[in-house]
Structure 1
């Protein structure tokens, strides 16, 4: 094995162990969703809240509340059918940093309802 590939593998394992890709995806997603006037200060605030949550054991505050989740779902369902496609669902989770591109999600062949979308976003957020 080449020395460079071993270091790359170690770096990848380190990042995965500490869930850094998920954190960076999440930070990017909330930054693009809210588009604050001062993005650096906003990110610092999020990271500080994360640190406080870890120290105190209090759950990390998710920055997308129910109205944000509903708004996102409605943007993907402009015809108001009440469901979105599995591909829209997976892409939304990826955009929010709640799913990786290579994650194997199961498509049951039915559309994704708002309730299912909301439940999955909330569940995955709690895991982070």
Structure 2
């Protein structure tokens, strides 16, 4: 009989391998960001768009376009300096449901708007990359 810790480890490895927690965090963030009237329909629509993108090979949907990303950056850069602190940057990534563990906190280091947009898009793409694995081929029986 398998031990509980062995099953827990298998479950943890499975979730990490398929980046399930990243996807759930991101979907939750988008839900809270958009606050739709019908949250279940909103989530189903997002997942359907992801499925279609995977099957057809078209670009994955980005739920935060550059306008939204810029607006978020400008809210963080209230003084209008053109940059935000690493602490603000990490909090923004966290709020968006994106990975932030690899961000180094270097005293005095700042993040520009271009870097912010680039990193948000890169980290979003990293989440969707888990969905690109092994798209099943559809057989056509003629």
What TM-score, normalized to structure 1?
A: 0.90
**Structure 2, unpaired ranges of 5+:** 128-142
The corresponding residue for 2:118 is: 119
CA RMSD across the alignment: 1.5
The corresponding residue for 1:83 is: 83
- Rounded to whole Å, the distance in 2 between the matches of 1:115 and 1:54 is 28
Counterparts of 1:12-51 in structure 2 under 5 Å? 12-51=12-51
Deviation at 1:75, TM superposition (A): 1.4
| Alpha-carbon displacement from aligned partner over 1:66-115 (angstroms, at most 9, x marks no partner) | 11001111111112121111011111112212215xx2323454211111
Contact 1:83 1:112 in 2 (8 A): yes
Radius of gyration: which is bigger? 2
What TM-score, normalized to structure 2?
A: 0.82
| Alpha-carbon displacement from aligned partner over 1:32-90 (angstroms, at most 9, x marks no partner) | 11111111100000000111111111121111111100111111111212111101111
The corresponding residue for 2:131 is: none
**Structure 1, unpaired ranges of 5+:** none
Deviation at 1:11, TM superposition (A): 0.5
Residue-pair matches, total: 125
